[in-house]
Structure 1
């Protein structure tokens, strides 16, 4: 399943030309937008240029944190599209900070704080504002520390935050002229003995610190900052592993939370799915350097299981790109092995045919990986037929996706019922465990909590509520199910379902039982995903008739609308039934 990184989508040739204009007017802008704090005690020196930087996220490998301290106003850092984003520079030694200059791109902060720290853990505010206007902002401050960061509080646009330059001025504290050491790792980041793929043809196993480790996992969707809130729930399913698609500065929170629960991370290293792997040497060089830095940062963390390079890049490519991509992955794998010999490396695609390219062009991989939903039952046979000589990990699996099922009369893909979806997880785990010594485990898709159309289809905890599929994963991993269980919603239908007048009353039949005899309440949502691509769920009023059917009001926009009805038991569980109507 494709999980793309967010892009601003606004870096154009015109924007680059405008950057030159920014330089020309910088003196005027600095006079117009200046926030003055305490006066500096000495003539300031630019301390930040070229220094190591980290950030909460970057929207592209072309707009990394380092771009904000490279001295160029034609390159920039751009964050993810949320308010809680930050950019941090390591000055290398304790300094008295007297001035910070922010050269904002169009995506600026309305509210933000400038902070300083001696250990990158405890922060003191140097300056803050809730009325940012962008442009070039010079702030005189007073404070000392090794690390300085811009902490975004509220965005001014729908994009994230973007800085052409993040400049910190001050003087080095004489008593600490020598660079201070990096912070001492916490116990949760203590090095492990190592993770290995051991054994011989058809008799492989994964070992962690010398002990066998079968991957019983889930893919992880919430933010890294929220990992401490969810890791106990993940562990309660019997999972020992989570898989991600990308690793950045914020991933430390996920690694720490996982390690605290005895869980390991299959850490994704994102490779752009649309990159030109034949000719774009700059992208490949920059990405290789970034990956090497990330691996070096986390290689000693006790929460790390293995590295997973790329996700579903090869399937949609032509032959030349497939070969070039596999060759590039080989370069990445070799670099990872040099930086971190203590953890295996794999690479994920959406079909086992990618393994032919990996066998020929990426021999340094320790194991293969594949995302397979409706076709999971065939993976073991495809491995046999291909004559492969390395084991594999299933990195995504679950019920058949919207791309694998037939459409209903309205052209909307027929989503499996909750019962069928739960059974799919059971069958997937059986398919994995039917290949001992070859399949090293699986990470089920998906531990997500979003309440949207994709979340209705494949999340184990839609809107944070436990689905029957959550319990199916617990049954697979633990061999037993604990606690109150969710309502079971059968095949759901709508009447009328076609030629529906805008705003007309629609009757929904959703036969439902609750295994614990709990009283059930209802919610209903509509989504225009199959009208305009928007997977947002729109709440709609629902009433229950005496005959047990439900009544909702049809949307007023023409097209095929998907409907989801939620049966809630009051114990944090939900059963969901889906159907569709076509509004005329």
Structure 2
């Protein structure tokens, strides 16, 4: 982590923090043809991070807000937000049809409303609350539009018990049918929130094309999604390297959010932390041991206008048997193959390499549902391997991935992986 920035943040917080109790008024204002979020009467553009891990780094690098997907652990998240001068888009977990919830069951819908009302009453007066996120991607794999009636009931209830915070609901993408439903059925929803990945740059135009004239937040954005990426013949999605991700995070943000000054209230980058989803590295901009990828450098620049003093390594190439990740790599069982990694460090720091071999994940879910991490396969690469090494292909036919992690000794990392298939002789 960037120690000098963290120390600065700690000093800032110590010197400026003051006791604050009770809610802080947040409202959406429309004036001079543009929407603005006001917090305590002051303009508040969201520079947010999805996920509550490392809140001190969000503040230190120029961010100002955290997004959650439910109230699980909300007390801790809100307390850490207060300690770090951050706000929280506090998620309310609304049941999904794809998980078996029946929106034709009035008793189940009423019970859910009671549960969420209790959550709102519990947290509504916390000064860190910014606005409410009612559900996440309720339009994913759904058929029953009555879900939007339930969203309206929740939003209307929130306005009755909490006069200080706006309401929002989060869509997967920005499709005209769902936008129309929300406009027609959810008048108590103040802000449209959108999750998008490769399509971030197109969101301002998509919002307008879909007919949404009000304010919006991009509640998740990040790398090219696994469903948007090239796919091998054995159905493995090809992941961008950490350096490729850094480039698209910057270009897509600058092409969209920075140009929409009339409707966009800000964004939450995904994921400020780490998770297993298709791979252990696809969506988290930190590694499992908390090291920072080049994407974190980009976020500091986008939030603060300044690059960190020590930059993450840049991965220019990664090949297995002379082939890249998009080349549909096939290997023979038990054979040895060359591995080459090309990484440069902007600060000329000495680099260390770690390789990991995993079977291709088979625990594949949708909508970000929890997945299990495959167990690593040991003994197939030399110990203390460098930029050039060899892989002994597994003896069992099947799909695998080779990962490389390149460290600079300053808590920064470059990451890449190559999917490959071992087929019988």
Name the TM-score class by shorter chain.
Answer: 0.7 to 0.9
Preserved CA contact (<8 Å) 2:89 2:133: yes
Q: 1:552 aligns with which of 391, 407, 411?
A: 391
Closer/same/farther in 2, CA of residues 487 and 415 from structure 1, 3 Å limit: same
2:170 is the counterpart of 1:348: yes
Is 1:405 aligned with 2:229? yes
- Give ranges in structure 1 of 5+ residues lacking alignment: 1-186, 223-229
- Contact 2:200 2:253 survives alignment (8 Å): no
**Secondary structure of 1:390's match?**
coil
The structure with the largest strand share of the pair is: 1
1:279-428 to 2 correspondences below 5 Å: 279-318=104-143, 321=144, 323-353=145-175, 354-408=178-232, 410-428=234-252
Distance verdict in 2 for CA 1:437–1:519, change over 3 Å? same
Go from structure 1 to structure 2 and tell me whether the alpha carbon gap of 1:498 and 1:380 turns closer, same or farther (over 3 Å shift): closer
With over 3 angstroms needed to count, the CA separation of the structure-2 counterparts of 1:373 and 1:296, relative to structure 1, is same
Offset, 1:452: 7.4
Contact 1:201 1:389 (C-alpha < 8 Å) held by counterparts: no
Residue of structure 2 equivalent to 1:233: 57
Matched with 2:79 is: 256
- Cα 1:436/1:277, change in 2 over 3 Å: farther
Tell me, yes or no, if structure 1 residue 562 matches structure 2 residue 417. no
Q: Tell whether 2:358 aligns with 1:536.
A: no
> How far apart, CA to CA, are the structure 1 residues paired with 2:137 and 2:417?
28
Please give the alpha-carbon distance, in whole angstroms, between the structure 1 residues aligned to 2:152 and 2:264: 22
State the shift of 1:191 in Å: 1.3
1:403 deviates by 0.8
Distance in 1 of aligned mates of 2:207 and 2:278: 33
Please, what TM-score do these two structures have when normalized by structure 2?
0.85
| CA displacement at 1:329 relative to structure 2 | 0.3
Gaps of 5+ in 2: 1-17, 323-327, 365-371
Distance 1:195-1:316 versus aligned 2 partners, 3 A rule: same
CA RMSD of aligned residues (A): 2.3
Shift of 1:525: 1.4
Query: Shift of residue 548 of structure 1?
Result: 4.4
Please report how far the alpha carbon of residue 196 of structure 1 lies from its aligned counterpart in structure 2 after TM superposition.
Answer: 0.4
Matched, 1:500 2:331: yes
Q: Secondary structure at the match of 2:212?
A: coil
Contact kept? 2:382, 2:389, Cα under 8 Å: yes
CA distance in 1, matches of 2:394, 2:194: 39
Structure 2 SS opposite 1:462: coil
Contact 2:217/2:267, CA 8 A, preserved across alignment? yes
Q: Distance in 2 between matches of 1:450 and 1:540?
A: 22
Report which of the two structures shows the higher radius of gyration computed on alpha carbons: 1
The Cα of 1:450 is off from its aligned counterpart by: 4.5
Asked whether the 8 Å contact 1:244–1:265 carries over to 2, the reply is yes
Query: Offset at 1:237?
Result: 1.9
Q: Given the alignment of the two structures, is residue 479 of structure 1 paired with residue 305 of structure 2, yes or no? A: yes
Return structure 1 stretches of 4+ with deviation > 3 angstroms. Answer: 275-278, 408-411, 449-455, 496-499, 501-504, 529-535, 539-548
- RCO higher in structure (CA 8 A, sep ≥6): 2
Q: Give how far 1:488 is off.
A: 1.3
User: What do residues 58-108 of structure 1 show as CA deviations (whole Å, max 9, x unaligned)?
Assistant: xxxxxxxxxxxxxxxxxxxxxxxxxxxxxxxxxxxxxxxxxxxxxxxxxxx
How far the C-alpha of 1:384 sits from its partner, in A, is 1.7
Question: What displacement does 1:540 show?
Answer: 4.0
Tell me the secondary structure at the aligned position of residue 508 of structure 1: strand
1:510/1:577 contact within 8 Å kept: no
Distance 1:210 1:532, change over 3 A: closer
Task: Measure how far apart 1:480 and its partner are.
Answer: 0.7
Give the C-alpha shift of residue 553 in structure 1. Answer: 3.0
Partner SS state of residue 538, structure 1? coil
In the TM superposition, residue 544 of structure 1 has moved relative to its aligned partner by 8.7
Distance across 2 between alignment mates of 1:419 and 1:373: 16
* Conservation of the 8 A alpha-carbon contact between 2:357 and 2:401: yes
| Contact 1:530–1:562 (CA under 8 A) maintained in structure 2 | no
Task: Provide the rounded CA distance (Å) in 1 between the counterparts of 2:411 and 2:52.
Answer: 19
User: Compared with structure 1, are the counterparts of its residues 240 and 448 closer, same or farther at alpha carbon in structure 2 (3 Å cutoff)?
Assistant: same
- Deviations along 1:447-470, whole A, 9 cap, x unmatched? 113477544112111121000001
